[in-house]
Amino acid sequence: MRALIGGSGAPLLVEAPVPEPGPQQVLIKVAAAAVNPFDLAIAAGTVADYGVARRLESYGLGFDVAGVVDRVGEGAPFLPGQEVVGLAARLELPTKAQAEYVVLDASAVARAPRGRTAVEAATIPLNALTAWQALDRAGAGAGRTLLVTGAAGAVGGYLVELAALRGARVVAVAGAGDEELVRKMGAEWFIARGGDLAGSVRALVPGGVDAVVDAAVLGLAALDAVRDGGAFVALTAGAAPVGLRGIDVATVFFRADAAQLAEVVRLVEAGQVTTRVAGTYPLEKAADAHARLAAGGVRGRLVLVP
């Protein structure tokens, strides 16, 4: 099969053996695989610098997959021909989701959303699960105030929508031209990127917000908008500031969770959570997709199609 690997500075398309599913595993014929910022770090060979993987000669690329079950291992609760989505969360694998086939644990796979294309479905797993798990860690629930930085981005959009569905009151930070978008997603307040963030937030929410999920990596500027004893959630390795004023600071990395993924799929089918596709590329044009993502300003996800 064809598969993308990284580690030498750019994504490289290679021939690799089709992986075999073991017990409780699923072999998926890939229909679409999203490109995430983490893929850029892996392709560039810098992922080991963040302390989240060993320094290897190469790494398989791709976390999100949408496709069709080809074969199943013993005990896996899926059938060949089922349309599914999944998250290839492990880093140190020779091939992953940006390939013609991928093997995932059944615990990382859920039924694909009805009424959505494979390209749309492939934008869901990593970003939605990151948002879900970050909101859990931030304690974002009914009546709680939450600051979301990078609110118009792929993860930020899921953060705003899922937080609003939980009943949280969201302060969204994004570019000035994104106000209509993030308000439509459920933000109660909007602050244009730049300027005095803490002052602007505290003018809207006296005393500061209960929590922040810092998708835009603003660090101390976002921390200063949180009330004493609140919560700060970072999504990037090494980006969490010191927990001043008794603020509970944590870094959340995504994990595969079939039950959470299935619930997000249900919300997508109900029209309560939005999938956003910024563009599609064939596997052999992966370098172009990486360059476009690295240039910034992408709204939604770029998706590779084998």
Q: Domain with 195 in it: what CATH number?
A: 3.40.50.720
* Helix, strand, or coil (residue 59): strand
Per-residue pLDDT of the chain (306 residues; tens, 9 = 90+): 999 999 988 999 999 999 999 999 999 999 999 999 999 999 998 888 878 889 889 999 999 999 999 999 999 999 999 999 999 999 999 999 999 999 999 999 999 999 999 999 999 999 999 999 999 999 999 999 999 999 999 999 999 999 999 999 999 999 999 999 999 999 999 999 999 999 999 999 999 999 999 999 999 999 999 999 999 999 998 899 999 999 999 999 999 999 999 999 999 999 999 999 999 999 999 999 999 999 988 889 999 999
9 with 113, same domain? yes
Question: What tokens appear for 136 in the block?
Answer: 């859990």
- Residue 184 tokens, joined: 């439509």
Is residue 141 domain-shared with residue 221, that is, in the same domain?
yes
**Shared domain check, 176 and 85:** no
Q: How far is CA 130 from the centre of its chain?
A: 5
- How big is the chain, counted in residues? 306
| Range(s) of the domain holding residue 114 | 2-124+275-305
Report which DSSP code applies to 91. S
Render the burial of 198-216: b for 16+ CB within 10 Å, e for the rest.
bebbbebbeebbbbbbbbb
How many structural domains compose the chain?
A: 2
Contacts for 225-229: CB closer than 8 Å, 24+ residues apart? 225/147, 225/197, 225/198, 225/201, 226/147
* Same domain, residue pair 39 and 85: yes
Of 216, 235, 251, the residue at which a domain comes to its end is 251
> Same structural domain for residues 136 and 247?
yes
Query: Is there a single domain that holds both residue 47 and residue 154?
Result: no
Residue at 256 is within a domain: no
User: Looking at the domain assignment, is residue 257 inside a domain?
Assistant: no
Same domain, 184 and 234: yes
Same domain, 287 and 228: no
What predicted TM-score, i.e. pTM, was given to this entire model? Answer: 0.96
Same structural domain, 132 and 152: yes
DSSP per residue over 132-156, as a string?
HHHHHHHT--TT-EEEEESTTSHHH
Report the pLDDT value the prediction gives residue 197, as an integer from 0 to 100.
Answer: 98
Q: State whether 117 and 131 are in the same domain.
A: no
| Domain shared by 149 and 76, yes or no | no
Report yes or no on 269 lying in a domain: no
Q: For residue 231, is it within any domain?
A: yes
What's the distance, CA 221 to chain centroid?
23
Q: Quick count: other Cβ atoms within 10 Å of Cβ 15? A: 7
Distance between CA atoms of residues 303 and 98, nearest Å = 10
Residue at 156 is within a domain:
yes
* Confidence at residue 53, expressed as pLDDT on a 0 to 100 scale: 85
d(CA 243, CA 263): 32
pLDDT reported for residue 51: 80
Q: Are 197 and 174 in contact (CB under 8 A)?
A: no
Structural domain includes residue 104: yes
User: How far is 214 from 134, CA to CA, in rounded Å?
Assistant: 10
Question: Does residue 145 fall inside a structural domain?
Answer: yes
For residues 159 and 195, membership in a common domain is answered with: yes
Q: Which CATH number do you get for residue 291?
A: 3.90.180.10
Give the residue from 33, 53, 227, 59 showing the smallest Cα distance to 120.
Answer: 33
At 27, which helix (H) or strand (E)? strand 25-35
Residue 301 domain-assigned? yes
What's the first-to-final CA gap in the chain, in angstroms?
A: 10
